[in-house]
Amino acid sequence: MTKLIAPAKINLRLKITGCRPDGYHLLDMIMVKLDLADQVKFELTKEGIYLESDSDKVPCDRSNTLWKVVELVRQESRKKFGAKIFFRKRIPTAAGLGGGSSDAASLLLALRDQLGLDWSDEKLIQIGVRVGADVPFFLVQGAQKVQGIGEILTPLALSELQQVEGLPLILINPGFPVSTKEAFGWWDQGPHPASGHPLPLTGEGLGVRVGLTGAGLDAIPAQLENDLERVVIPRYPVLSEIKELLIRVGAHGTLMSGSGATVFGLFESTALRDRGFEQIERLKKKNWWTWKGNSLGGEESNLD
């Protein structure tokens, strides 16, 4: 069987800039991958689609992104084939970390190679966005500025990339999912609090830009911001509690990723992150999922 690695992501920025007539929201985002990843194993078969997961929270039917990828590749390539797929979930589901989209992207890339399809990256992106808005991001290497409905990708400049790779961070998920569709629906209903931030981004207060340079946390390509915090956090106040805890244990910046409910905290050093994580493990609530690690640059192939 072929083994694939599907990394998680966080949004350092998620701005909603408009809405298309078909209801899809236009976005302006900065996204980076993490060294947290699902594992997907698959083999081609003559017919049929078989999915199996180690998580009972993931559907193994037509609603799964992996199933959708196989069906779309069949349609677009006009090739007859089946697939047997096993996947190990390490990324929480419906958590704003892009797990399902990353799984889909990893399989889409592998099918192109194994079926010998002469498809450009642009072709893959066109297929990927039909599976999910985050899929195109996972089809390319490195941190990206992501616009449109997720299909317009611009690599960060080298100087910017160096500031967002290798960021020490902690993730906390409160143990419940947030529907992306519902979160954007709440945004459409309005109103939106003027500040956009129920809590300061950092212990130093609003407006501080955080990133990583040789001298420590400094400026990244954009201030940490997520428009969906404005409508998700009021409905789930525990996310404010999580942000407060991350600041209390030393995070220099905190933000909800995607549509939530995972919140991340950025730290000035690995040592400070590890010290903060030890405190969180003692203070966290029973149902909280926690993880510590780093953001990736272009070294995704080294994941295991």
Backbone φ and ψ for 53, nearest 5 degrees, come out as -130, 155
- The amino acid occupying position 248 is R
Active site residue 9: yes
Kindly name the residue from 35, 134, 243, 292 that is annotated as catalytic: 134
Rounded to whole angstroms, how far apart are CA atoms 302 and 194?
42
Sequence-separated (6 or more) residues with CB below 8 Å from residue 263: 171, 172, 173, 239, 242, 243, 246, 254, 255, 256, 257
SS3 130: helix
Helices first, then strands: H and E counts in the chain: 9, 11
Other CB atoms within a 10 A radius of the CB of residue 236 amount to 16
Residue 19 and residue 26 in contact, taking contact as beta carbons nearer than 8 Å: yes
Q: Is 188 labeled as catalytic in the residue annotation?
A: no
Catalytic residue positions?
A: 9, 134
